[in-house]
Structure 1
Amino acid sequence: MAMKFVVYCGGKWEVVDGRLEYVVQADSVRRGFETSTTVSYSTFLKNLSESTGLQNITRVSYKISNFNDPIDIVDDSDLTFLSKIGETNPLELFKLYVVEDQVGSSAGSSNFFKCPDLNANVFPEDECNVYNKSGVTDNVNCPVGNKSQFYIGYIFRNKQEMKIELGKMCLSESFSYKVDRSSKTRYEVSCIEENCEWNFKAASRESCDVFYVKHFNNNHTCSKTQTYPHMRQANPMVVGSLLVEQFKDSGRIYRSTEIVKDFRIKEKVNLTYMQAWRGKCNALELLQGSSSSSFAELPVYCYNLEKVNPGTVTQIRTDSESRFEMLFVAIGAVIRSFVRNLRPLIIIDAAHLKGEFKGTMFLAVGMDGNNQILPIGYGIGKSEDGESWTWFLSKLKECIGEHPELAIISDRAASIQLAVRLVFPRSFHGLCCRHLMVNLRLPSKKKKGI
């Protein structure tokens, strides 16, 4: 796989308006460069020098759009890090900043200019009237002294990201906005108070999904004291993006009631329980992915599971239209432990799932000498019927083989009895004492009224 770069040379790094920027002379040349993601650092420098004609390279850096400071490439590990970014963004055109030798002039000299940043305004004057007399984009460094992170010419990756960031600003500043115009190329909003001058306008190029700030008046002429208890901007996407950091701690149980309380204290916003719950679901989806995408990656998961666990058996059953029906998984180490060391006893049961797609989880476990449970095989199916149990037990039999003294324990489900007779006809099938006790317990007699 190849990575493509725009190479900036003939400059150096200087602090400009409180930020580290790459400054170049007016006659500096930008070159194109392409390299493989598998080359070493020394080969990378050699190819860069030969392709661009640069000599005595002392520093090579790049920038990521959501990280202001430059990232240096000094060894193979740094190049590997950049290569991984390139592999996940195969269509990305990266900017590479090269320093050859110390440049004599300073950054404040009239012969030097700040190199365009990854988040600089790249739109022509007729689409974004933000140029001053010197031809430099107005308010480029506005976030340093502005309460808001937005400024004229600020670029969002897509419309969805822009709406999320706007919602975050509304929550932090305790106001709501209304949408005046929304389309594929325009997005205009204003303060929900009629006489307030606050407004925001953004536009996009038809050739891409990128949105940029075209006009932004961040001055409120309303009192901003008329806050609404349940803000319309507190949607699942905004709330979820604010909760992502809290849910990175997998050991914490963060309930919706706690989210409501935390938002009331930190953001001064009263969320409803459902707003908190939907935001929680969105945050988990941002971290773990959606259920649909997880199903799509199931073959990859099974392949990796078999690769790193020798002897592991996985099987995915689909219908005639290649839609998911059932899954069976048995870990190789557990199969070997059951066959060689455990007593010939298997306990089977099923549990109903409560996720987005529902379904039933099938489980077969064994017991060691200390009566501790060892999961031999597990799977997922649509429902607990005879066909599902027969398929699951047939796959289990392929893993453990035929055993003359095998005993299977389950509840009194008719589907299990049918499947055991078909798949393990010579095995003993017993019923769980706990289930018998619950099912045979007589209901208490109600006293009849006189």
Structure 2
Amino acid sequence: MVRGKLILICQHGGEFMPKDDGSLSYSGGDAHALDISPETEFDNLKYILAEKCNLEYRSLTIKYFLPGNRRTLINLSNDKDLKRMCDFHGDSVTADVFLTGTKVFAPVNLGTQVNRKTGAKEGCASVTGPATFKGSCSAVGLKDVSIGIATLRSPTIAANTSKHTAVCNIIDGLFEVSVIDATDCSTDTFDMSASPAEYVKKRRRTASWSSGANGPTIVPVADNLGETRQTISREKVTRKCNLGAIAGNMSLALPSDASPVKLVEFWKNAITGEGQDFISVAEFRDALQKYAIAHRFGYKLRKNDTNRASAVCAAEGCPWRIHASWVPSDNVFRVKKLHESHTCDGESWKTATPSKSWLVNIIKDRLRDSPHHKPKEIANGILRDFGLELNYAQVWRGIEDARLQLQGSYKEAYGQFPWYCEKIEEANPGSFTKLLIGDDRTFQRLFLSFHATVYGFQSGCRPLLFLEAIPLKSKYHEILLTGTALDGDDGIFPVAFAVVDDENEDSWHWFLKQLKSAVSTSRSLTFVSDRDKGLMKHVLEIFENAHHGYSIYYLMDSFIQNLKGPFHGEGRASLPGCFLAAAKAVRLGVFKMYTEQIKLVSPNAHDWIMQNEPECWVNAFFKGELYNHITLNIAELYADWIEEARELPIMQKIEVLRCTIMN
């Protein structure tokens, strides 16, 4: 699974040349670089590539190689193919795609319902569709146009509506733009609900609109800072094209990389005075919030409903106040009165509290850039950028709401497990899944073992399995249980895993029973686990002719922690090396030699070794497969794999793990 962005190296105009080993090389032509995200739509990507490479849209074909295979070209023709390509290049930074088609690009109408998702970018110029538009222009010979405001939705929620996508987007939101009618004129609306980073990103994504016989066509344009953009003067805009459109055009003067400081400066004009119009009371409230933050004062809403809103300065006796109400004749929400002067000397700013929606939008921006931001880091960033001092609880609640909007409900993700198990068995015939739900319909356990990993274990691995438990560090404290083998190079080879609500003897017993059903081998297996977990009786009960050994990694850790003086001879530093040498000794005499050396340094350390069942971990005594040369922490490897997804709902955690195993 692609983590974040994947850079496409788009090549065209060259030709494929066969090599001696049967692989293909591509020579000649031109190349362009575009980056895509997991939300990029195929039609949008195809349109962008057609325009960039000057190829006719409908004739364009896109192909690519699988990683490590330069013999067979794979067609890319729809959204499923695009997602599959992204999954295949899960650990890659770049992917090569090869384009062919008829020369000369001609703009086309992709349909009256245009869905633009955050996606392909070239350099710093985004080529997605327009971000937020809503407005109308009335003039002689022109038709009214209504272009729906772009809405930000949770990627996970979007995925739930189309359950062909098992795991979805981790960071970016989705923007939708609906073109209702064609026109020769459209105006921008200043989206006051957007946070600073959202606003900058939307300005980067703004595309030009070209009208023709087939109606409006979206023509992506690069964000050239040196290029002057046409604006509409206030005098030429009718009352029906409200002043929000003017604010939208004013925003074009901002550079695309405007910092929060510059945006706060821009927010100082969010409220311009009496007669200013807004689309709704919600837009007015958002503008007022940003105006207050920019001018650093707090306010109280005296009246606040859909038809009117009045606010006064939070400081007692300060004359600042504002009143706005709905004007039915003009269909706008208009500022009627505004007293701009303050006499409180910033006293109201000390108690100012941002609205929940504003705070959530700000936090979402930070989580998109870095999903693992801590509350203290976010609070410090908001204080630095906006001068607002927030307590830990405020920021924590904001993070929870922001993650809910970005990723979907953590609790509701459990409801996707039955569907997920069905799709795993459908897409991977021979795979084994088991879902256990309690009488109260709450999740208890999920077991997964893929046919490919079981086949690999049976065909190419020693009959040796390491059992580990890894906390998933989530709000519901799930535990990941794993069964891991070693390949021919002693590399980690995952065979099966389970997510359980708690780690105890019962959950381990259940996991081992499912593991037996999945593996079903006649070979005598050797299991290795932490001695303190007490899994020997469960292993020997469930698996016939099995052996159970203690993990040398955990034994070494326990041995070092229990070392107590006094120490003699070569001292404490020599004991770990002697301990490992004794564990790896295949002859009884060698084992005794090293334990005697340990005894000379520390009799207590010698006694510890003898009391911890050396027959279960010393090669000279152990009757199963030898494993003491493996001294790494296998659980830590799994923890590293899921570290990036630790804040995600459980379904997405599992999908990250699946993609890592499959890759």
Q: TM-score normalised to the size of structure 1?
A: 0.60
Q: Does 1:248 align with 2:368?
A: yes
| Secondary structure, aligned partner of 1:354 | coil
**Cα displacement string for residues 356-390 of structure 1 (whole angstroms, at most 9, x for unaligned residues):** 21232212211223322222222221211222112
Gaps of 5+ in 2: 1-110, 114-133, 152-161, 163-175, 192-237, 251-267, 327-331, 567-663
Are the counterparts in 1 of residues 447 and 496 from structure 2 also a CA contact under 8 Å?
Answer: yes
1:14-25 counterparts in 2 under 5 A?
A: 21=136, 23=138
- Change in 2 beyond 3 A, CA 1:180/1:280: same
CA distance in 1, matches of 2:557, 2:494: 25
- Match for residue 263 of structure 1? 382
Q: Distance in 2 between matches of 1:353 and 1:391?
A: 19
Query: Which one of the candidate residues 455, 473, 477 is aligned to 1:336?
Result: 455
Mapped to 2, the partners of 1:332 and 1:394 lie a distance apart of 17
For residues 412 and 26 of structure 1, what CA distance do their matches in structure 2 show?
A: 84
Aligned-partner SS, 2:521: coil
2:418 aligned counterpart, secondary structure = helix
Output the CA distance in 2 between the equivalents of 1:192 and 1:241: 24
- What whole-Å deviation, never above 9, does each CA across 1:416-448 have from its counterpart, x for those lacking one? 3443244324311111123334445536479xx
- Residue of structure 1 in register with 2:180 after alignment: 96
Letter in 1 for 2:299: Y
How many angstroms apart in 1 are the aligned matches of 2:294 and 2:490?
55
* Paired letter, 1:259: I
Q: Does the residue aligned with 1:356 lie in a helix, a strand or coil?
A: coil
Alignment of 1:353-392 (within 5 A): 353-392=472-511
**C-alpha spacing 1:260/1:186, structure 2 compared with 1 (3 Å):** same
1:155 is the counterpart of 2:280: yes
Say which SS state the counterpart of residue 378 (structure 2) adopts.
helix
- For the residues of structure 2 that align with 1:184 and 1:256, how far apart are their CA atoms? 34
RMSD over aligned Cα atoms = 4.6
1:97 is paired with a residue whose SS is coil
Contact 1:390–1:422, Cα closer than 8 Å, also in 2: no
Higher normalized helix content (fraction of residues): 2
**Structure with the higher strand share, 1 or 2:** 1
Query: CA separation of 1:214/1:135 partners in 2, compared to 1, >3 Å: closer, same or farther?
Result: closer
CA pair 139-435 structure 1, distance change in 2 beyond 3 A? closer
Could you tell me how far apart the structure 1 residues matched to 2:301 and 2:384 are?
28
Deviation track 1:82-119 (CA, whole Å, cap 9, x = no partner) reads xx9xxxxxxx99662136xx9xxxx8xxxxxx999999
CA contact (8 A) 1:384 1:415 kept: no
Question: Alpha carbons of 1:226 and 1:371: their partners in 2 closer, same or farther (altered >3 Å)?
Answer: farther
Corresponding residue for residue 176 of structure 1: 298
Mapped contact 2:136–2:146 kept (Cα < 8 A): no
| AA aligned opposite 1:442 | N
Q: Which runs of 5+ in 1 are unaligned?
A: 6-18, 31-60, 68-83, 85-91, 108-113, 120-133, 204-211
**Are 2:402 and 1:287 equivalent residues in the alignment?**
no
Which amino acid counterpart does residue 358 of structure 2 have in structure 1? V
Measured after TM superposition, the shift of residue 350 of structure 1 is 1.4
Q: Is the 8 A contact 2:313 2:348 kept in 1?
A: no
1:25-424 equivalence runs, <5 A: 63-66=147-150, 96-98=180-182, 136=240, 139=243, 141=245, 143=247, 144=249, 147-148=269-270, 152-155=277-280, 167-180=289-302, 189-194=311-316, 195-199=318-322, 213=333, 219-223=339-343, 225-226=346-347, 228-229=349-350, 231-233=352-354, 235=356, 237-249=357-369, 254-413=373-532, 416-424=535-543
CA distance in 1, matches of 2:336, 2:431: 58
8 Å CA contact retained: 1:23, 1:115 = no
Task: Name the SS of the counterpart of 2:405 in structure 1.
Answer: helix
Q: Give distance in 1, aligned partners of 2:548 and 2:277.
A: 74
Report the 3-state secondary structure (helix = DSSP H, G, I; strand = E; otherwise coil) of the residue aligned with 2:441. Answer: coil
Deviation at 1:401, TM superposition (A): 1.2
**SS at the partner of 2:182?**
strand
Distance in 1 (CA, whole Å) between partners of 2:471 and 2:310 is: 47
* Contact 2:299–2:352 (CA under 8 A) maintained in structure 1: no
Query: Residue 318 of structure 1: CA displacement?
Result: 0.8
Change (3 A) 1:116 1:262: closer
Give the structure 2 partner of residue 128 of structure 1: none
1:206 aligns with: none
Structure 2 contact 529–535 (Cα < 8 Å) conserved: yes
Q: 1:357 to 1:253 in 2, by over 3 A?
A: closer
Shift of 1:241: 1.0
Tell me the CA shift for residue 291 of structure 1: 0.9
Does the 8 A contact of 1:353 with 1:361 survive in 2? yes
Q: Contact 1:177–1:192 at 8 Å: present in 2 too?
A: yes
* Preserved contact between residue 292 and residue 298 of structure 2 (Cα < 8 Å): yes
What is the TM-score when the length of structure 2 is the normalising length? 0.43
- Amino acid aligned to 1:233: P
Kindly state the Cα deviation for residue 405 of structure 1 after the two structures are TM-superposed: 1.9
Go from structure 1 to structure 2 and tell me whether the alpha carbon gap of 1:383 and 1:117 turns closer, same or farther (over 3 Å shift).
closer
Distance apart, 1:213 and its partner CA: 4.4
1:217-276 deviation per Cα after TM superposition (whole angstroms, max 9, x unaligned): 5653225633645742165x43331132333246x7544444334323321233445544
Residue 98 and residue 193 in structure 1: after superposition, are their counterparts in 2 closer, same or farther (change >3 A)?
same
What is the match of residue 130 of structure 2?
Answer: none
Deviation at 1:201, TM superposition (A): 5.8
CA distance in 1, matches of 2:500, 2:190: 48
Q: How many residues align?
A: 340
Once the two structures are superposed, what CA deviation does each residue of 1:39-90 show, in whole Å capped at 9, x if it has no partner? Answer: xxxxxxxxxxxxxxxxxxxxxx8723139xxxxxxxxxxxxxxxx9xxxxxx
Q: Which moved more, 1:322-331 or 1:337-346?
A: 322-331
Letter in 1 for 2:270: S
